[in-house]
Amino acid sequence: MFAFSIPATLLADKWGRRTSAICGGVILSGTMLLIGSLYAANVVHPQGAARWVVIVSVFIFAIGYVSTWAIVGKIYASEIQPTRTRATTNSMATGGSFVSRVLTSSFTAFAGIVVARLLLTCPANSLQIGSLRSRLRSSLRGRLTARTSSSARLRF
């Protein structure tokens, strides 16, 4: 990503902000449409070409983002600030972005575990939630019993 963001930063004025934003939107929308279409058609499996198309599309999405929208966003954020506060506000924005990325990557897995636990323990409000809960419970029970010894099994 670093290899793509540096040239994009240097060429941002030559390309223009509008062109970068529009091209980035087309790239991001196209890759998300492709990934979503493959999953909606249920053709992505552990083996096969569709899996690799999704993996390559994720990388194309990331490269498209860091070379277009990420650069344009930082340029606009720095240009709208008055000169006397520009350095301070850009430092705060960059620091805030770093902190939010660290927090997001740290707590995403924990939040997924909490949500799964809530789905497993909360009373079912409808048959659909109940069937989802039972499917999750049986899936997790099968995975946990296969990975743990008989004396350390978790009870649901």
What residues make up the domain containing 141? 123-156
Could you tell me if 128 and 63 lie in one domain?
no
Percent of the chain residues topping a pLDDT of 90: 19
Could you tell me if 66 and 129 lie in one domain?
no
Higher confidence at residue 146 or residue 58?
58
Could you tell me if 68 and 128 lie in one domain?
no
Average pLDDT of every residue of the chain = 78
Give which of 69, 88, 55, 58 is closest to 17, Cα–Cα: 69
pLDDT tens figures, 41-83: 888 888 888 999 999 999 999 999 988 888 887 787 778 888 8
pTM strictly above 0.95? no
| 102-21-4 Cα angle (round to 5) | 55
Count up the domains in the chain and report the number: 2
